[in-house]
Structures are given as structure tokens and as C-alpha cells.
Amino acid sequence: MTDIWNRTLEAIRPRLSEHVFRTYFEPMHCVGETEAALTLALPSKFIRDWVLDHYRGFLVEQVSEVAGRPLEVEVVVEPSLAKPAATATAEPEAPQGTARRPFVKTRKLNEKYTFENFVAGASNQFAYAACKAAAEKPAEAYNPLFLFGGVGLGKTHLLHAIGLEIRRQHPDWNILLLSAEQFTNEVIVGIRDGQMDALRAKYRDHCDVLLMDDIQFLAGKDRTQEEFFHTFNNLYETKRQIVVTSDKFPNEIPELEERLSSRFQWGLIADIQPPELETRVAILEKKARLDGIALPDEVAMFLATHVKSNVRELEGALIRVEAFASLTGQEITLELAKEVLKDVINLHGRRPDAEHILRTVASFYNVKVSDLRGQRRHKQIALPRQVAMYLTRKLTDLSFPEIGRTFGGKDHSTVMSACKKIERLVEQDHDLRQVLESLEKNLAT
């Protein structure tokens, strides 16, 4: 009964990024099969619903291809499939409440970083929903919760939002929010001053919720990782919520111990991508509304079109324009925004469309555009296709599904996988990095 599904897993793994495969597909088990349908099970309704919303078509297509006949796919919830705690030895206990309050000496929760002030879009919807679920049911929904993504995409905002929501529901709980660097410094001071027992009591005995930012900072710090490992185990075994953020997937953090990486994968891993155009516009509009800035629609669209890297830079551009307008006594206009930002954005460079990117990449690799849109997976075609998808995502405002349609009706998960693969390769392959720089330069002229 599981043969079709096992072969399907083997077939789809190369087409998906590691975190997508491990979060959504690897936990699936085949629990039923007929001539017309395959029944798969997942441990969580949340993940089941997400899979059906975003991967139903992909699942049906892949299962049918492997089976050699049309098959429907049904996905059910089986809570028993949830991973058990491999080292759980302590009897679970509820958070102890007010007795822990005096021990909290960490970063304060930023009252502005609420769920209400977070702009959710296609690029961050999964992470946003997961954080809300974890905040509403601490240590019940997703524990641990691991958020990863590039700089300035909203990980820290969500971390504070979780803390604020839990504090609203449980005002007597101790919520510790800190960076991995701060934790490292506390370990160093604890060792130096012989105060490790006090540090362990703070994080293991007097903590109800642990929110740690930039966990990648622990990489290569053996003693700190050792302390965090035992802290993690203690909190997990006693059913206290753990949320960490990183700029990389756990397995991709260099010099992070495998035992820590594996524990981060006990719960839910959610990534945050750079926001698409519509989300960037919404972010600017919300920022302007909260700060009392009169932002014309055309200026919001201009900023969103030209500042695409991350939320921090996007809001920074708005602040720069507003500050200039305020100091010079002018209204914010499109002309003023162009003048203020002329040194940081390219106003005259050509914005390539998907067709231009396809033609340019095909010409560079000496393949046909029809090959890039086709189904062939030979290496001579696969790499150019992935490069073209990556550049289309980076240089245009097309969403993953829109790029998939441009490339001959590919599933959006295929596009996501291609972009992730090129991002990984670029970090290691100097030649590919030069190729991409050359292609981008040609596309901008």
C-alpha cells in the first residue's frame, strides 16, 4: 500500500527545498489506497490545511505520474504521527506563574510589534499563522517553533508578537526574550563568576516561554551550545514554549551541533521570504498610517517597486522621504521621492520582464526558450531553467505561481525549490556567482 507513496516521495524530494519537503511531505504516511485514490495522513490539522491549500495540485500530479494512472489524493489528520520527544524523562508540569517573575532580566517586549501591526502576505503567511497558533496555545500547537529567513523580513517582529500575545493571556508568566548573543554573554559571565547555577535556574526553573533571536550566533560556541542543549531539553520536557529565529534552515547553519539541529526539527519550521509587490505596498501603507504620514498611492507604489530586498530597507526609504519632506516643509510627492532616493535606487535601469529573462538565459546557455519552459530534467536544461526562475523571482514582481505559469505551467513549489537551490549554490560556486552577476548586468541595460 505504501509503495506508490514511497516512490512519490523519492520523485518529489529533488524538486522541493529541504525545509518544504521535511515540513510538509516527509511527515506524511499512506494510510489507504484504492484504484481511484490515495489517502495520506499528517499529524496536524494546521499542516494538513496548508498542504491542501498550497500543494493539492502538485500532490495529485506527482502521485498520478508515479502510479501511471489518475489518482485523487485525500489528506487526513492522525495526531499519533507527531514526533515524540526522544529524550523526555521528566513528568510534564504546568508553568509556575508569579514566583518566576523576579528572575526576568531580558529584552523588553516592543509594544509596536503586535500581530495586528504585522502585514501578512504570500511570502510570510505560513510563518504568521504558525506564530499566532503557538501564541494562542503555548507548547500545545508547535513546540519548538523555528522561524528562518533573511535580514529585515519580520522574524523579530513575530517573536515580539508571540510574547505580547502570551503575556496578554497569561500576565503572570515569565517570558524571556533575548538574542543568542546575549545568551552567550550570560554563559561567559556565569563561567567567569562561578554563577552557572543561577543562570540555569533562570532559564530552566524560572522561564515559562523562551523566545531566542538569531540562534545561528551559537554556531561554533561549544560550551554555549551545551548549555542551550540542556536548557532546551528541560523546557521541552516540561511543556514550555520555545521559539527561535535564524537566517538559515537548521541543517544549513555551519558549526551547529547535529543534536541541536535535530531538536529544532521536532516542532514546526517556517520560513519567511522577501515580500512580493502587493505586500510591500501594504507594509508601506500600514507604516504610514501608524506614523501619521500622508503617503500618496503613487509614492507607495514607487517605493514598493524599487525597494524589494526586505521590510527594513523598505520602511527606511519611507522614513527618509518623510524626514526630508518634514525638514524642508514640503508635501510628499513622487518627484520628491525620486529626488531623495536617487542615490540609493536605480531609476533609469531597465526592468526586465520574464520573456526577456528567458531569452537572455537561453542565449547564454545555448538552449532554446522552449526547453526552459518544457519538462526535460537533463542537467543541461535543468540548471539554466533554475537560473532563469531565480532571476525572474529576483528581478520582477511575479509571484511563485505566476513564474510557474510563465515556465510552462510549473507548480509554484517547483519554482520555490529552484530559487532555493540557486541561492545555496551561489554561496559555494564562484563561477555561478559571476554568471549571475553578468546576466543581471546584461538584463539591466
- What distance in Å separates the CA atoms of residue 445 and residue 406, rounded to the nearest whole number? 22
Assess whether 158 and 213 both reside in one domain.
Answer: yes
Assess whether 133 and 154 both reside in one domain.
Answer: yes
| Assigned domain for 32 exists | yes
Q: How many CB atoms lie within 10 A of CB 3?
A: 11
| Residues 276 and 305: beta-carbon distance below 8 Å | no
Assess whether 404 and 362 both reside in one domain.
Answer: yes
Helices 379-395 & 354-365 angle (0-180, nearest 10): 150
Q: Range of 418's domain?
A: 354-443
The predicted structure's pLDDT at residue 89: 38
Peptide bond between residue 144 and the one before it cis (omega within 30 degrees of 0) = yes
* pTM recorded for the entire structure: 0.64
Q: In a 3-state reduction of DSSP, which class is residue 213? A: strand
- What distance in Å separates the CA atoms of residue 421 and residue 399, rounded to the nearest whole number? 17
Assess whether 435 and 324 both reside in one domain.
Answer: no
| Assigned domain for 89 exists | no
In angstroms, the Cα distances linking 268 to 27, 59, 210, 375 are 11, 21, 16, 32
pLDDT tens for the chain, 445 residues long, are 568 898 898 888 877 766 677 778 888 888 888 888 889 888 777 788 878 887 888 888 888 888 888 888 898 888 666 555 444 333 334 444 434 444 444 568 899 999 999 999 888 998 999 999 999 999 987 899 999 988 889 999 999 999 999 999 999 999 999 999 999 999 999 998 889 999 999 999 999 999 999 999 998 899 999 999 999 999 999 999 999 999 888 888 888 899 999 899 888 999 898 888 899 999 999 999 988 999 999 999 999 988 877 888 899 999 999 999 999 999 999 999 998 888 767 654 556 889 999 999 999 888 899 989 988 778 789 999 999 999 998 888 788 888 988 998 888 888 888 888 898 888 778 888 888 888 887 787 6
| Residues 342 and 437: beta-carbon distance below 8 Å | no
Which phi and psi (to 5°) does residue 178 adopt?
-160, 170
What's 21's domain CATH number? 3.30.300.180
| Assigned domain for 93 exists | no
Please provide the distance, in angstroms rounded to a whole number, between the alpha carbons at the two ends of the chain. 56
Helix residue ranges, H only, 351-429: 354-365, 369-373, 379-395, 400-406, 412-428
What's 363's domain CATH number? 1.10.1750.10
Assess whether 309 and 381 both reside in one domain.
Answer: no
| Assigned domain for 203 exists | yes
Smallest CA-to-CA distance from 11 within 71, 74, 61, 75 is with 61
Assess whether 253 and 155 both reside in one domain.
Answer: yes
